[in-house]
Chain A
Amino acid sequence: MMRTEWRDHDWKLIHTLPQSPSLHMALDDVLTHEVGAGRRPATLRIWEWAAPAVVIGRFQSLRNEVDAEAAQRHGIQVVRRVSGGGAMFIEPGNTITYSIYAPLSLIKDMSFQEAYAFMDAWVIAALGELGIKAWYQPLNDITSAGGKIAGAAQAHRGGAVLHHVTMAYDIDTTKMLDVLRIGREKLSDKGTTSAAKRIDPLRSQTGLPRKAVIARMIAIFRRLHGLSDDCLQAGELADAEALAQSKFASATWLADVP
């Protein structure tokens, strides 16, 4: 396998209507597989959320991370993703989430640390153009003077790398800390005071609506790496819907690490 560059790939953009949390998990699984099998070109997918969710990492303990009673009370669906890393608290409009699916050749011979920074170099550039001086904090955080901006996670499957990132646009921490058990510890660790009511590094530092930030990010990816608009193939969506139902919405998968 030869190392490839960004421009060696015919990058496609998928940015569709809001989808359910379990369908997002399934789309990541299916699209990573399709890119690995060579049936789909390398792809950037921007997520839109149809419902609030807590997304826990592949190896996180469900009961250790999530207050199930609080999640139910707030109407928040809890899902487990295919990649490692920490829990994310999502409400429609409060985060920007994207996935990159690429052949493993793009990060060939890189350490974990190098591969994370490499996959998000375009985001650091985009944030710079939006007036935010941001940098990678190993292993998997993007941070700024105004606090942590994003968390990334990667998984390698069948010849492809999945790299997905959730960026905080404007998060209500009161509800988040109600639902995530270790939220407080993580916040203190990241140097953010636990008394903060909102985590809004993107909103407060750009002054731009979420939609405008996404548009700028897409434009910069397009300029740096090339990008043409695409949509989900009918077969991809059907596979993902089936997988969302059979796996990602199931109690068995959610409690795979109880």
Chain B
Amino acid sequence: MGSVGKRTMHGEYKMPGGKLVVIDLDVFNGRLANVQLSGDFFLEPDSALLAINAMLTGQPAHADEATLATTLHNALPADVMMYGVSPCAAPCTRVPTHDAHRVA
């Protein structure tokens, strides 16, 4: 038990007037496991969801927001387009008024 036990966690964040982002995961031996991102956001291509889940899996449970955001940002292919779920280094507390992700 304690730090070596499994903890199941669930978090939800709704951007004001915007999209809901949900994360379900386990913390096992101090690392993120069984990470499942979900919500009413948009992602192209849809396979990026699996990539995001895979990248977060195994990260240290104590990693801060900026570290996780940078990890995602660096690992996702450049052609991935997101709306309502973009990783950012600063807390995402606002709805983007425009997005830089354009159709190729």
Residue in B24, B42, B46, B83 whose beta carbon sits within 8 Å of that of A61 in the complex = B24
A257, B41: Cα distance in complex, Å: 13
* A113 close to B98 (CB less than 8 A): yes
A163 CB-CB contact with B under 8 Å: no
**A182 at interface by CB-CB < 8 Å:** yes
Whole-angstrom CA separation of A156 from B103 in the bound complex: 9
Min CB–CB distance B72 → chain A (angstroms)? 15
CB contact list, B57-104 vs A, under 8 A = 81, 83-84, 97-103
Classify chain B: how many residues form its interface, as a range: 20 to 34
| Min C-beta distance of B52 to chain A, whole Å | 10
Give Cα A240 to B65, complex, Å: 43
Closest to B44 in A: A156
The answer on a CB contact under 8 Å between A153 and B46 is: no
Q: B41 to A59, Cβ gap below 8 A? A: yes
Instruction: Decide if A59 touches B83 in the complex (CB within 8 Å).
Output: no
Beta-carbon contact of B103 and A108 below 8 Å:
yes
Residues on A with C-beta less than 8 A from B81 are: 112
Decide if B43 is an interface residue (CB 8 Å cutoff): yes
Q: How many angstroms from the CA of A138 to the CA of B98 in the assembled complex?
A: 9
Q: A58-B46, A153-B42, A257-B36 are in contact. Are A64 and B22 (CB under 8 A)?
A: yes
Interface residues of B (CB under 8 A from A): 14, 17-18, 20, 22, 24, 36-46, 49, 81, 83-84, 97-103
With A58-B43, A64-B22, A139-B83 given, name 9 new contacts (CB 8 A): A57-B40, A61-B22, A61-B38, A110-B102, A111-B103, A112-B99, A113-B99, A139-B84, A258-B36
